[in-house]
Structure 1
Amino acid sequence: MSKLKHIAVGAAAVAFMATSAMAEKVLRIQSVLPNTADEVHMLNEFGKDVAALTGGSLTIEVLPAGAVVGPRDIMDAVDAGLVEGGFAWTHYWGGKHVAANLFGAPVAGAGVGLDNIAFLSWFQYGGGKELYDRLWEEMGVNVKGFMLQPVGPEALGWFPKPIESMDDFRQMRFRAPPGMVGAAYADIGVPAVAMGGGDILPALEKGTIDAAEWCCPKPDSVFGFQKVLKHYYLQGLHQVTVNADMYVNRDFYDSLNEQEQMALEVAANASLSKSLSYRIYENGKALKDLTENHGVILEDTPQDYFTEYMAAAKNALQAAADENAFFAEVWQSQKDFADIAVPFWAGAQTSNAGLGRAHAATLK
């Protein structure tokens, strides 16, 4: 039994000890989220695939936020081997390397119109994965990364009353994501405040903030924003695609046999597709419930938001590219991909989006 196995057994409950006794290796993954989150549900699905592909020689145990270290310390804990794995969104580590933003939440679709599906095309076939694998060395951490869960497009957010223009938006203290995404809001005069998901509803109830975004209808409804705010805007640019991933201590990864390493790769690829499929249906059900049972009103985003936010996003992207060579390389790869793929994908999707909106209109 390996030293890491002893650590896992010593830290886990009795029930887990019985399970791990039958397994050769246990990969503990601490999440930044509670175990009730949708992301953790899909992470457990990923774990089931890994166990099946390895015949149980590698099992995954998902630990909730705070189980070993605080959410902001997960990457350092994985790097040091304190816990074998971690789970968050790639852009959470933008403070360690600015290019993490381009993998986790490329602001405004990297300024070139990459939605979540186009991003996956770049990642899997346009050179993105090779750059992603380099990110951890550039970041200086002893980590092997696996992208698992693409989400998006994210909703612009929740508001106490309709906003007719950016002038109305600028009157709101707005919970926005950290990093480049939130900085772009600040650049166009929106008083952006970063905070964790669990802190948003209390802040709204206390009046510390006036409006907020988190993700999409299902996760938003779980946090309960509909209890305070009723005006919901689906169309936004800030996080057209958002990607959650898993970080495995490199020494632990290297200790796995070839089949176990391949199982992680195969299960990760499956998770990319399964997460997209799961989220579309779950968000659809949640939106239906919000509008039919909770008095939520869907609104259309003011047009001046798109022009102002896109301009701020492109300025931020260019500034980062001017300062960091690896960021510039990744962004150039995304732009080169977009020059080829986006004219097709955006053109093909325009008619489908119009048809979809027409169908949605018949349901009102």
Structure 2
Amino acid sequence: MDRRSLIKNAGIAGVLTTGIAPAVHAQAAVRWRMASSFPKSLPTIFGSAEKFSETVKALSGGKFEVSVHAAGDLMPPFGVVDALQNSTVEMAQTASYYFTGKDSIFAFGCAVPFGLTARHMDAWMEHGNGRKYMDAFYAQYNITSMSAGNTGTQMGGWYRKEIKTVADLKGLKMRLGGGLFGETMNKLGVVAQNMPAGEVYQALEKGTLDATEFVGPFDDERLGFHKVAKNYYYPGWWEGGAELEFFINKKAFDALSAENKAIVRAAGAVAARDMTAKYDMQNPMALRRLVASGTKLKPFSKELMDAGFKAAMEVFAEHEAKSPEFKKIHRDMRAFQRDQVLWSKFSEWRYDDYIGAAKI
């Protein structure tokens, strides 16, 4: 045996004798499950979860995979926070305001009446105090969060009868997305009901609901609301820019390698941007189709908007009186909003107003 072979064999023997294994740099495969609160029939919202999964797999070379499960597959649509808290799944894709029954603070992760627009929400969450405050709150539920995309300003919903004044809202049975909007509308006489999107059409058709709101033209058209309620109002003042979120089991995220954490964050950013862009592309065409099919498109009156604003501010004041944490987050959001609105007056609003009137 030559000298090099002798040294090589001695080295292997030394490893076997000491029990010290050579360094292995390849990362073990990671398999996660994501439960969505939305059905597959909504390619905008549910598509964000699919985009996240595709991107994670691509960036990791297939070593990190996230299987995506539609609402009801693993658990009820509104069961995802409990599942994360109990470590039943590693991720969820949802709207945080669905869980205000647990704590009203959940609303700030998605949308509140007369709240932030999509761009303002993105700025507050990523460069203001939004994400910091919300993740500090979510930690008690074993959750850390990322944006899953934003719907933009939503529509004001579908109504079986015309809504001309605040009095027309009294006794109205309406499906609402959740959060503080339901409390606000209750003050205006609405009987608010929170139910998954997939159950709403049948309720409207049977007359157990008088009205519903969901998102906007593209999603609403797919859900068929225009077939059972012809009056379509705008704007959705309760959702100036509804943020969907990826909720991640905090223990599972903390256990990831630095490389996989970076992959998760990058995939979230890709999915969020894709969702918002998809809505902006698809909503105009869907709105044209809806109007062409007989939908009656109408603005809410200023009287109704003013009444909604007054009721919303009363709801915020009530929650602030009960919760110092709610008050801290709400006041921070409003201070941020004032600056954003001031800037928007001199930039996009003026530009959009001109270009909307110009012949382009």
Q: TM-score, normalised by structure 2?
A: 0.86
Structure 2: distance between partners of 1:262 and 1:244: 20
User: Which residue is 2:19 aligned to?
Assistant: none
Structure 1 residues 337, 254: CA separation in 2 closer, same or farther (over 3 Å shift)? same
Task: Flag the 1:347–1:186 CA change in 2: closer, same or farther, 3 A.
Answer: farther
* 1:32-78 residue CA offsets vs partner (Å, 9 max, x unmatched): 12222221112111222222222222111101112222222211112
Contact map agreement 1:165 1:303 (CA 8 A) in 2: no
1:71 to 67, 77, 80: 77
Counterpart selection for 1:34 from 31, 39, 49: 39
Question: Could you tell me how far 1:262 is from its partner in structure 2?
Answer: 0.9
Given that 2:47 and 2:275 are in contact with CA atoms closer than 8 Å, whether structure 1 keeps it comes out as no
Which SS does the other structure have where 1:237 is aligned?
coil
1:187 equivalenced with 2:187 (yes/no): yes
Query: Separation in 2 of the partners of 1:193 and 1:86?
Result: 23
Indicate which of 86, 104, 107 corresponds to 1:101: 107
Q: CA deviation at 1:353?
A: 3.9
2:3 matched residue in structure 1:
none
Task: Give the direction of change, closer, same or farther, for the CA distance of 1:185–1:348 in structure 2 (3 Å limit).
Answer: same
Check the 8 A contact 2:216/2:283 in 1, yes or no: yes
Matched, 1:82 2:83: no
Unaligned runs of 5+ in 2: 1-26
1:298-343: per-residue Cα shift (whole Å, max 9, x none)? Answer: 1121111110001111111122122112211211221221232221
Q: 2:57 matched to 1:48?
A: no
Aligned to 2:134: 132
The superposition leaves residues 194-219 of structure 1 with CA deviations (integer Å, 9 ceiling, x where unpaired) of: 32212211111111122221111111
The letter of the residue matching 2:163 is: I
Letter in 2 for 1:231: N
Structure 1 residues 23 and 41: CA distance shift in structure 2, 3 A: farther
How far apart, CA to CA, are the structure 1 residues paired with 2:75 and 2:196?
16
Is the Cα contact below 8 Å between 1:68 and 1:83 reproduced in 2?
no
Question: Can you list the C-alpha shifts for 1:228-278, whole angstroms capped at 9, x where unaligned?
Answer: 122211213111121111222222212211011011112222333222111
Q: How does 1:196-207 map to 2 (within 5 A)?
A: 196-207=196-207
Aligned to 1:208: 208
CA distance in 1, matches of 2:55, 2:264: 9
SS of match in other structure, 1:108: coil
**Per the alignment, in what secondary structure is the counterpart of residue 141 of structure 2?**
coil
One-letter amino acid of the counterpart of residue 135, structure 1 = F
1:286 match: 286
Partner residue in 1 for 2:119: 117
Say whether the 8 Å CA contact 2:98–2:177 is kept in structure 1.
no
Secondary structure of 2:244's aligned partner = strand
1:257-296 equivalent positions in 2, closer than 5 A:
257-292=257-292, 294-296=293-295
Kindly report the root-mean-square deviation, in angstroms, between the aligned alpha carbons of the 2 structures: 2.1
TM-score with structure 1 setting the length:
0.85
Larger CA deviation: 172-181 vs 329-338: 172-181
Aligned equivalents of 2:191, 2:41: Cα separation in 1: 31
The structure number with the bigger radius of gyration is 2
Sequence identity percentage: 23
**How many matched pairs?**
333
Matched residues in 2 for 1:26 and 1:264: separation?
13
Q: Which letter maps to 2:111? A: A
Quickly say closer, same or farther: Cα 1:236–1:141, change in 2 above 3 A: closer
